[in-house]
Amino acid sequence: MRPRSSRRSRAGNTIADVAREAGVSLMTVSRVMNGKANVREETRERVEAAIKALNYSPSAAARNLAAASEVRIGLLYSNPSAGYLNEFLVGSLDQASRANVQLVVQLCENKEDRAEIVRRLIDGGVDGLILPPPLCDADDIHQLLQEAEVPAVVVASGRPPVFLSSVNIDDRAAAAAMTLHLVKLGHKRIGFISGNPDQTASALRLYGYLDALGEAGQVSDPALVVEGLFTYRSGLDAAQQLLALEERPTAIFASNDDMAAAVVSVAHRMGLDVPGDLTVVGFDDAPQATTTWPELTTIRQPIADMSRAAVIQLVEDIRTSRDGRRLAPRHAQMTFELIQRESDAAPAA
């Protein structure tokens, strides 16, 4: 009787092939692949050569199964600006495939069925959740996660709950840096369009603006601060309000690029040149920032890096809690960058 036909389907080689090629045991190959310590340098090199020679790549399924470490994480998003989500997805996907974890991307639009969706994800076997803005500030979700003892990482929240890990930039310092930049250009009347009050980062950016003004010894005229919602439309309204002011600002700092683009649009329709008559700056370095004219000076958040970091942190949290160890949420802070493009200039004399 001939051996029953193999059930293999992957064209690729298996770890056994590599072991044979290198003249070592399976385990040694496994150790090399996982970067374990106890392998002699010479052996390691031999195995690596064999891996390269056979063009071997391990089966994620088998790995997960054997290591009993199948990790599935959910990425819950609502409707942030498209560019943000895009970059966020790319980063987390990349990291997820690197870390060999399955990423479940779930849309969650209305507030009503949030709880339902989260519960279903958890019941469905997700081991942890990533919450990009604006869901990063959804208290009801936090609550749910704490009760279910499901680890999660909130990203770009201004006020992350203590029991969840978080990844942020220092919104306050970033807004202060941008404001200071405007002050240094010589602007005395700097308008500010704040973000959606539902998102905690909004307040931080406002504080940053105020910090810088204070530091520069400028008084902050309350009329120069207008509330927006992070949407283009709200930016339109806010810009109209600011530019209708008797003593018009010479610069406007919008809390995100969508609103900044709206400001530019309004300025143009009023016949104002940007940046000749009005400096406009944004925040986020969204695609908007470069698909508008003039291109926007803005604050760059390393979104992809942040989402990557979130995945790493979450996987760590999940493994911790699986081992029965106590979860110790960590709060990471990434660095921002002020990107100067063409929408800012010194005020007209």
Contact residues toward a copy of itself (CB under 8 A) are: 7-12, 55, 57, 59-65, 68-70, 72, 81-83, 85-87, 89-90, 93-94, 97, 102-105, 107, 123-125, 231-232, 236, 258, 261-262, 265, 268-269, 271, 286-288, 290-293, 322
Give least dist CB 132 to a copy of itself, A: 13
For residue 34, the partner it binds in a copy of itself, DNA, none, with Cβ less than 5 to 8 A by kind, is DNA
Q: Do 71 and 317 contact (CB within 8 A), yes or no?
A: no
Q: Do 153 and 183 contact (CB within 8 A), yes or no?
A: no
Give least dist CB 70 to DNA, A: 8
Judged by beta carbon, residue 86 or residue 102, the one nearer DNA is 102
**Separation between Cα atoms, residue 229 and residue 313, nearest integer Å:** 30
Q: Which of 20, 33, 203, 338 binds DNA (CB under 7 A)?
A: 33
Give least dist CB 168 to DNA, A: 32
For residue 94, the partner it binds in a copy of itself, DNA, none, with Cβ less than 5 to 8 A by kind, is a copy of itself
* DSSP annotation of 224: G
Is 320 an interacting residue with respect to DNA (CB under 7 A)? Answer: no
DSSP, collapsed to helix, strand or coil, labels residue 58 as: coil
Give least dist CB 255 to DNA, A: 45
**Separation between Cα atoms, residue 173 and residue 212, nearest integer Å:** 9
Dig out the tokens for 83 from the structure.
């560019």
| Residue 146: φ, ψ to 5° | -65, -45
Tell me the HSE value of 213 on the side-chain side, using a 13 A CA sphere.
20
**Separation between Cα atoms, residue 24 and residue 95, nearest integer Å:** 31
Is 97 an interacting residue with respect to DNA (CB under 7 A)? Answer: no
Tell me the β-bridge partners of 297: 281
Q: Which of 63, 72, 159, 319 binds DNA (CB under 7 A)?
A: 63
Dig out the tokens for 229 from the structure.
């919602």
* DSSP annotation of 255: S
Write the CA distances from 279 to 244, 294, 343, integer angstroms.
Answer: 16, 10, 6
DSSP, collapsed to helix, strand or coil, labels residue 324 as: coil
Q: Which of 2, 4, 325, 326 binds DNA (CB under 7 A)?
A: 4
User: Please, is 276 exposed, middle or buried when counting C-beta atoms within 10 Å of its C-beta (0-12, 13-18, 19+)?
Assistant: exposed
Judged by beta carbon, residue 98 or residue 330, the one nearer DNA is 98
For residue 287, the partner it binds in DNA, a copy of itself, none, with Cβ less than 5 to 8 A by kind, is a copy of itself
Judged by beta carbon, residue 22 or residue 89, the one nearer a copy of itself is 89
Q: Which of 2, 35, 38, 323 binds DNA (CB under 7 A)?
A: 38
Contact segment (CB under 7 A) with DNA among 9-17, 204-212, 267-275, 276-284 equals: 9-17
Q: What residues line the site for DNA (CB under 7 A)?
A: 3-10, 14-16, 23-31, 33-34, 37-40, 42-43, 58-59, 62-63, 65-69
